[in-house]
């Protein structure tokens, strides 16, 4: 069954869309990627064009299959993984979005979140959803879209029609997984991990929450059906008359960070991983218990297989890590990301410079929407090498912020951390991370673990892989990094980092952006 068949994964990220084909050993057989436009209508606003994302998705699927000479009917299943929290509404009749998607990084609803704080709803939201009240999540984005989407795009004359039609299920709400599943299968479906990031889903009752829907005035009729992350019944199949010209089951989906947890085979309580992408996301599996955080972490759903209990996770969401490297490029301090290691190694230290890349506020464990990017400690002798090294160090320090909170909440001392994402190809960063965090860093051979996780979820659902033990046997170590820095040196630098973070906080105020 598996000799000449494969599982494909759509990995729809913040900056682009990838399709990867995996074989039964979990090895990459084909890989295609397309970037999409980042749209910034106003300061702090970030949007994507959903139609561009869908067109790119079709393109990368065709490209990857073509590269490897694989026909669509050799795909046993397709899995989907996606940038989480990014939100869109679309017309059920035409399938057209009513507005650009509002990206997870977008801060346009900060005032609304502050209103929630004034209304003493923060604890209620945390108790029900495991999340902090923050513009990061989908609820306030969906509310804004319902209030502000252009009625012309719906070919209707009055803005109220969007609410009216949403109440009838004629305008649909979704995160990017729902949008892709809808376009692949025609079904309006999400799964538990993405639902858990909307700030509308009760992670204990495993249902959309009536009180939260009422607070944000979001009609239940517009919401997708919530299914397991790995679904034996499948979400549907691709249209044999559509772009693939084949009927392929779409059988698994996970938000990108939970997909990486699954792809790193973190199936047991206490297993942890950190993914270094646009931001960094540190997750620890807590098993069937939803552990409440006292240290600024999120309680979220890790994954669910058909017929099994939900597995929960603690998460530390760091908004800007890889994006800080892109910022260095934007500022012409580097020509490409590969230069960062060379430049950082060329100096012994940052010479007292600290970069806090709070470009869209601070995430876990600080949760300060009004923090902004800050550089402290510069002198006339500061060179770009110091700033580049300080930027790399900021990634390691932010991860330690989360690691310390994770250990305090879970009571588990972390001795080893599995890492993945584009930045972990940088050996200098991996060693630095090990030094700052004081534990072993383990990098796998297949570092596309986000796509791999969604492929595993889909493949398990259709019997391509028999059980999680088979997946564990696929997992192989590429490199391990042990701490070399004296702990007291790491602690001293980390304490100084904490002071720099304080200087970035509460900077952006209304009218002063």
**Cross-strand partners of 191:** 227
Residue 300, annotated as binding a ligand:
no
Parallel, antiparallel or unpaired: strands 249-255 and 75-82: parallel
Tell me which DSSP letter residue 69 carries: T
Residues with Cβ within 8 Å of residue 330, at least 6 apart in sequence: none
278 assigned ligand-binding residue: yes
Token pair for residue 303?
Answer: 């994954």
Question: Is residue 14 marked as binding?
Answer: yes
- The answer to the question of whether 193 is labelled as a binding residue is no
Residue 361's SS3 state is strand
Q: Which residues pair with 226 in a beta bridge?
A: 190
Tell whether residue 409 is among the known ligand binding residues.
Answer: no
Q: Is 190 one of the annotated binding-site residues?
A: no
426 is annotated as contributing to ligand binding: yes
Q: Mapping DSSP to helix (H, G, I), strand (E, B) and coil, where does residue 379 land? A: coil
Q: Is 256 annotated as a binding residue?
A: yes
Which residues share a beta bridge with 275? 281, 420
Please tell me whether 464 is known to bind a ligand: no
Please report which helix (H) or strand (E) contains residue 350, including its range: none
Q: Which residue has the tokens 């979820």?
A: 457
- Rg for the chain, CA atoms, rounded: 22
Going by C-alpha positions, the residue among 464, 372, 411, 441 that lies closest to residue 22 is: 464
Known binding residue 258? Answer is no
* Bridge partner residues of 374 (DSSP): 356
> Taking the CB of residue 262, how many other CB atoms lie within 10 A of it?
34
User: What is d(CA 344, CA 353) in angstroms, rounded to the nearest whole number?
Assistant: 13
How far is 54 from 237, CA to CA, in rounded Å?
Answer: 16
Answer left, alpha or beta for residue 26, where phi above 0 means left and psi between -120 and 50 means alpha.
left
Q: Is 291 helix (H, G, I), strand (E, B) or coil?
A: coil
The answer to whether 396 and 429 have CB atoms below 8 angstroms apart is: yes
Q: What's the DSSP call for residue 336?
A: S
Type and span of the H or E element at 264: none
CA distance 264 to 441: 13
Residues 364/315, Cβ–Cβ less than 8 Å? yes
Binding site feature residues:
14-15, 18, 84-85, 136, 256-257, 278, 322, 422, 426
Annotated binding-site residues for glycerol read 84-85, 136, 256-257
Question: Which residues belong to the annotated binding site for ADP?
Answer: 14, 18, 278, 322, 422, 426
Return binding residues for ATP: 14-15, 278, 322, 422
Annotated binding site for sn-glycerol 3-phosphate: 14, 84-85, 136, 256
């Amino acid at each position: 069954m598996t000799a000449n068949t494969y599982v494909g994964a759509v990995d729809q990220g913040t900056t682009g869309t990838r399709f990867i084909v995996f074989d039964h050993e979990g090895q990459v057989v084909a890989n295609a990627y397309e970037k999409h436009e980042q749209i910034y209508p106003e300061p702090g606003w970030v949007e994507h064009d959903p139609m561009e994302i869908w067109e790119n998705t079709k393109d990368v699927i065709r490209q990857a299959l073509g590269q490897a000479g694989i026909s669509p009917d050799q795909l046993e299943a397709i899995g989907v993984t996606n940038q989480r929290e990014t939100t869109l509404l679309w017309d059920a009749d035409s399938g057209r979005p009513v507005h650009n998607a509002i990206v997870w990084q977008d801060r346009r609803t900060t005032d609304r979140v502050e209103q929630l704080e004034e209304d003493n709803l923060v604890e209620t939201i945390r108790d029900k959803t495991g999340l902090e009240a923050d513009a990061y999540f989908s609820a306030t984005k969906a509310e804004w879209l319902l209030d502000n989407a252009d009625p012309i795009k719906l070919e209707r004359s009055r803005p109220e029609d969007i609410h009216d039609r949403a109440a009838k299920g004629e305008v649909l709400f979704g995160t990017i997984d729902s949008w892709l599943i809808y376009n692949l299968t025609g079904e309006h479906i999400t799964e538990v991990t993405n639902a858990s990031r909307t700030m509308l889903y009760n992670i204990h009752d495993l249902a959309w929450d009536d009180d939260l829907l009422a607070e944000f005035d979001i009609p239940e009729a517009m919401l997708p059906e919530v299914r397991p992350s790995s679904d034996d019944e499948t979400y549907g199949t691709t249209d044999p008359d559509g772009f693939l010209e084949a009927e392929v089951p779409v059988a698994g989906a996970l938000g990108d960070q939970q997909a990486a947890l699954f792809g790193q085979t973190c199936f047991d309580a206490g297993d942890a991983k950190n993914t270094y992408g646009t931001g960094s996301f540190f997750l620890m599996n807590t098993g069937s218990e939803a552990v409440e955080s006292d240290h600024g972490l999120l309680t979220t759903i890790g994954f669910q297989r058909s017929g099994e209990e939900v597995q929960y996770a603690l998460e530390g969401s760091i908004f800007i890590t890889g994006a800080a490297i892109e910022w260095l490029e934007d500022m012409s301090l580097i020509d490409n990301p590969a230069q960062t290691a060379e430049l950082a190694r060329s100096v012994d230290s940052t010479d007292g410079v600290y970069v806090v890349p709070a470009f869209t506020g601070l995430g876990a464990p600080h949760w300060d929407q009004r923090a902004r990017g800050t550089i402290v400690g510069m002198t006339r002798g500061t060179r770009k090498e110091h700033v580049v090294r300080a930027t790399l160090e900021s990634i390691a320090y932010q991860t330690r912020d989360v690691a310390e909170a994770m250990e305090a909440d879970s009571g588990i001392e972390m001795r080893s951390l599995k890492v993945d994402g584009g930045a972990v190809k940088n050996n200098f960063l991996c060693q630095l991370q090990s030094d700052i965090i004081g534990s072993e860093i383990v990098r796998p051979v297949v570092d596309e673990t986000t796509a791999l996780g969604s492929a595993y979820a889909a493949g398990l659902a259709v019997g391509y892989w028999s059980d999680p033990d088979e997946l564990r046997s696929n997992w192989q170590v590429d490199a391990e990094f042990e701490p070399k820095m004296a702990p007291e040196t790491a602690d001293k630098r980390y304490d100084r980092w904490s002071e720099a973070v304080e200087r970035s906080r509460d900077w952006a105020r209304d009218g002063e952006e």
